[in-house]
Every structure is written in structure tokens, then in C-alpha cells.
Amino acid sequence: MKSYVVIGLGRFGSEVAKQLYKHGCEVMAMDVSNKLVQEISNYVTHAVVSDCRDKEVLKALGVKDFDCAIVAIGDDLSASVLATMNLKELGVPYIVCKAKDETHCHVLEKLGADRVVVPEKENAARLAKSLSSPNVLDYIELSEDYGIAEVPAPKVWQNKSLRELNVRAKLGVNIIAVRSEGEIIVSPAADYVIREGNVVVVLGDTKALEAAQKL
């Protein structure tokens, strides 16, 4: 089970935390607002009132033991910067930060954030899905139960044609495109052979996509 600490429980941070927990991850949600912490307490593993600007507090909470930290403080630049610096110094393996604009984004990247998102460009559900599923390179939610995912070609698919794989019948997904050496093949023919290094774009319902990711 992957573990995440989400710092900042505004609309974006709360939704990321809930979505990660929904995907079966361990989630610790953190904010200075007792009200926001109380509101999310039933939707995550742990919810704590804490100030991310205090490195000793973060250390005491054991944030370095989490797989990933999401800094969802978009409006307070100084708090966002301090939180990111503290997390880097404590050795958190992977840090994702929410940015208010491109300038904020640039600052966070300079501080060493592994990934910076601007919510207007990337929604919480999509971010949570891509983070919680290590085999998913990108995910587009079409509806609550349906989506499109980019996954590295599983070994069991490699050196086989789409006709041989017959994934629609076996898994309930459709291969709608393949990315190979920078080229994108849309609606590949049935005799197209999947190779090592290919990225496969699959369409299907949530359960079918999850099954494809586990191959």
C-alpha cells in the first residue's frame, strides 16, 4: 500500500486526499484549520491539525516515512515554499506541489518539487489516479466509472499482435492508441505487434483498467 501526506485541505487538497484514500492508499491529511481537518477525518486514514511551516512538527509526524507528499497550499506562497523546503530537507522521496500560477510553479520547481500542478490544468481525480497507480503514466476520467489510461506495455503483451491479445474479450478494455519511439499510432490495426518500451493507451471501465495495470 502506498502512503501519502496531503498538506492543505482546501477544495483541491481535500479532493486529492479523498481520491487517494478511495484508491486504497494510506493517507494522512494535514491543515492548520481544525474545521477542515474535522471535515475530512472520516475520509482518510489520519487527519491532523498541524503547521507545515514547522519542520520539527513535520519530523515528529514522520512525514519522511511516507512515499509521497502533496503540498496543496496554492494561495499562501510563503507557506507553500516553506513546506516544500521542509519536506525536501526531511528526505520525503517524492513531492507534488500545487501552484497558483506559472511564477509559483517556477519557484517550486527550483526548490526541487518533483511535480508541480496548476489545478486549472489538472484536476484532483486525475492526479490521484496517476499517483496511486504506479503503472499509470496518465489518466483521463470520462465518468465516475470510465476512463482512459496510459500504461507501459505489460511483458505478457510484448511481441504479440493485438489480434492475439484480444484484450477487449479477455479484459474488457480497448487499445485505442500505442506510443512507440515518439510516434503515436492511433487505432492500431489488428496485426500491430506490441513491443518492449511501447506505451499503450487503453479505454475501459475502472475495474477493467485496474486489471490491465496489474498484468
- The DSSP code for 155 is G
Is residue 48 very low, low, confident or very high in pLDDT (cuts 50, 70, 90)? very high
Cell of 30: 494535514
**pTM of the predicted structure, to 2 decimals:** 0.62
**Residue-range domain boundaries for the chain:** 3-132, 138-213
179 pLDDT above the threshold of 70: yes
Hey, is 125 helix, strand or coil? helix
192 pLDDT above the threshold of 60: yes
| Residue-level pLDDT at 144 | 65
pLDDT in tens, 128-146: 666 665 555 566 666 667 7
| Residue-level pLDDT at 132 | 63
Cell of 62: 514522520
16, 70 contact by CB (below 8 A): yes
Which residue spans within 99-145 are E strands per DSSP?
115-117, 138-143
Residue, of 94 and 126, whose pLDDT is higher? 94
Please report how many Cα atoms fall inside a 13 Å half-sphere around the Cα of residue 154, on the Cβ side: 17
Fold held by 138-213? Alpha-Beta Plaits (3.30.70)
- Which is the CATH superfamily of the domain at 3-132? NAD(P)-binding Rossmann-like Domain (3.40.50.720)
Is residue 198 very low, low, confident or very high in pLDDT (cuts 50, 70, 90)? very high
| Residue-level pLDDT at 212 | 83
Is residue 203 very low, low, confident or very high in pLDDT (cuts 50, 70, 90)? confident
Cell of 29: 491529511
Hey, is 15 helix, strand or coil? helix
